[in-house]
Amino acid sequence: YLGQLPTKMGMVDRKLLRYESSLQLAHLGLDIDPDTPLKYLSIGQWQMVEIAKALARNAKIIAFDEPTSSLSAREIEQLFRVIRELRAEGRVILYVSHRMEEIFALSDAITVFKDGRYVRTFDDMAQVNNDSLVQAMVGRNLGGYLWLYAT
């Protein structure tokens, strides 16, 4: 709420601030008291609080850079639900990830950058697959390589 604190008669309206904060946290599926110091939250909860802060600003464009790196499976599901809602509201979502399943689950279009340079944009998700995306990312076809999967 930095720069946007709710006021009442020239003073910060702490009751309204707590209420609005609890609404933002609940929207993300978080059961966290808004007065809880961040040092008592898990890394995943802390990250979700940061996302709630960004959403509270009602930004038209929201950038997520590897947002699931420290989230639990449940928190990832909640985040994806919110991202889909934001998209349905007409907001622009920039989602940076190396996790292919996330990219395909959330994207309307995919733009690949390599070493800070534009490589390609895939506008039609029906025309892009894992192989073509990896080829754009690494600069060559990896189809001939033998992949060994370890469990």
Domain boundaries in the chain? 7-108
Lookup: tokens for 12: 């910060």
Q: CA-CA distance, 5 to 1, in Å (whole number)? A: 5
* pLDDT digits 0-9 by tens, 91-131: 899 999 989 899 999 999 999 998 899 999 999 998 898 88
Compute the distance between CA of residue 46 and CA of residue 28 in angstroms, rounded to an integer.
12
Q: What is the mean pLDDT of the chain?
A: 85
122 forms beta bridges with: 110
From 109, 104, 115, select the one nearest 137 (Cα to Cα): 115
Quick one: what percent of the chain has pLDDT higher than 90? 30
Residue 129: helix, strand or coil by DSSP? coil
**CA–CA distances in Å: residue 81 to residues 46, 103, 109, 142, 145:** 18, 14, 18, 33, 36
CATH of span 7-108: 3.40.50.300
Share of the chain above pLDDT 70, in %: 90
pLDDT band at 84 (very low <50, low <70, confident <90, very high): very high
Taking each helix axis as running N to C, give the angle between helix 43-56 and helix 14-27, from 0 to 180 degrees, rounded to the nearest 10: 110
**What pTM, to 2 d.p., does this model score?**
0.73
Give the pLDDT of residue 80: 92
